[in-house]
Amino acid sequence: MLVVELISGRTLDQGATVEEKLSEEYSKAVNYIELSEEDFKSLGLKEGDRVKISTEFGSVVVFAKKGEIPKGLAFIPMGPYANAVIDPATDGTGMPQFKGVMAKIEKTEEKVKTVRELLEAI
Partner 1 sequence: MEDVICTFCGSVCDDGEFDAEKKKVKKFCRLGSAKFSEKERIKAPMVDGKEVSYETAIEKAAEILVNAKKPLLYGWASTANEAIRLGVILAEKLRGVYDQCASVCHAPGTLAVIEEGLPGATLGSVKNRADVVVFWGSNPAEAHPRHGMRYSISAKGLLIKDRKQRKVVVFDVRPTKTAKMADLFIQVKPGYDYAVISALRAILSGNADVVPSEVGGVAKEKLLQLAEMMKNAKYGAIFYGLGVTQSRGRDRNVENAIKLIQLLNRTTRWIIWPMRGHYNVVGAGEVPAWEVGYQYAIDFSRGYPRFSPAEFSAVEVLKRKDCDAALIVASDPAAHFPAAAVKHLKQIPVIQIDPFPNMTTLLAKVVIPSAVYGIEAEGTAYRMDGIPLRVKKILETSYWTDEKILEEILKRVEKLKG
Is residue 57 at the binding interface for partner 1, with CB under 8 A as the rule? Answer: yes
Contact residue for partner 1 among 1, 3, 10, 37 (CB under 8 A): 10
Q: How is residue 31 annotated by DSSP?
A: S
**Residue 39 Cβ vs partner 1, minimum distance, rounded to whole Å:** 13
SS3 of 60-78: the string is EEEEEEECCCCCCEEEEEC
* Cβ contact 6:103 at 8 Å: yes
> Do the bridges between strand 58-66 and strand 32-35 make them parallel or antiparallel, or are there none, so unpaired?
parallel
Helix (H), strand (E) at residue 53: strand 50-55
Looking at the Cβ atoms of 41 and 116, the one nearer to partner 1 is 116
**Cα→Cα distances 82→26, 46, 107, Å:** 13, 21, 17
Binder among 42, 63, 66, 97 for partner 1 (CB under 8 A): 97
Interface residue with partner 1 among 27, 83, 112, 113 (CB under 8 A) is 83
- Give the nearer residue to partner 1 in terms of CB position, either 95 or 109: 95
Q: Which residues in this chain contact partner 1 in the complex, by CB under 8 A?
A: 5, 7-12, 15-17, 19-23, 57-58, 67-70, 73, 75, 78-80, 83-84, 86-88, 90-100, 115-116, 119, 122
